[in-house]
Amino acid sequence: MELNELKAAWQLLENALERGNQLSVAMLRQRKLDAASRSLRPLKLNQVFQIFFGVLFLVLAGLLWSTKPTAISVILGGVFVQAYGIGCVITAGIVFSALSRIDYAAPVVEVQGGLARVRRAYGICVVVAGLSWWFLWIPLLMLLLGLAHVDLYAFAPSVIWIGLVVGVVGLLGMYWMYVYSQRSSNMELRQFVERATFGRSLQNALQQLNEVRKFEEEVLT
């Protein structure tokens, strides 16, 4: 075989290998993107439940307003419960909006950026709909008792003040745990806190895309 023929054969082999690599990347990309999309379904379902949950709290606030309460503490309890209901609906809508803007046909980096936006939106959702329960149970209890025409603050103010102290301590404890996990070299602890904070479905979707990007870098570079 002459040198030119050898070079041509070698070039054909290289082209075939490159096409094979590109096909492998495309197949892996499609499989992982499908898996990422499926893994986000529980997150979408959670937002639907959160909207219904928020509407429930709005209904409770509406029931309280129908009794025309006069005690300031009961009115404040109703305001906080109503604000929570509105916050649940709004933050769920923000997460839905971020999810709808993800273009799975775009490059992996852009899809990762879309998931990062979802993560930030869900972080707001966690604070509003989740962490607020360290304090929200107090106005909720005030509202429920207010429906029975009982003023919790007048009847047992210590319950409210003790609840506020417990809420502050609990919230600071969770914040310390999150900061500590981010600075810790223990990856298992960090992943556990991340999953507990942002949910398993979102973390799984991010992991799927990280695997695609890593594979692309290894094969195509």
**pLDDT, tens digit, for every residue of 95-114?**
999 888 888 777 777 877 88
Average pLDDT, the chain: 81
CA torsion sign, 95 to 99 to 102 to 108? positive
Q: At a CB cut-off of 8 Å and minimum separation 6, what does 187 contact?
A: none
Flag whether pLDDT at 190 surpasses 60.
Answer: yes
Whole-angstrom CA distances from 61 to 57, 127, 185 are 6, 21, 46
Which pLDDT value is given to residue 55?
A: 96
Is 216 within a domain?
yes
Is 13 within a domain?
no
Is 155 within a domain?
yes
SS (HEC) of 94-105:
HHHHHHHCCCCC
Is 109 within a domain?
yes
Is 7 within a domain?
no
Is 49 within a domain?
yes
Q: E-assigned strands of the chain?
A: none
Is 184 within a domain?
yes
Average pLDDT in the 129-157 region?
A: 93
Number of domains into which the chain is organized: 1
Which pLDDT value is given to residue 205?
A: 72
Is 18 within a domain?
no
Q: Which helix (H) or strand (E) holds 55?
A: helix 41-66
- For 182, the domain range is 39-220
CA angle centred on 64, ends 58 and 66, rounded to 5° = 105
Which pLDDT value is given to residue 184?
A: 76
| Nearest residue to 39 (alpha-carbon basis) of 103, 101, 99 | 99
Residue 144: pLDDT band (50, 70, 90) is very high
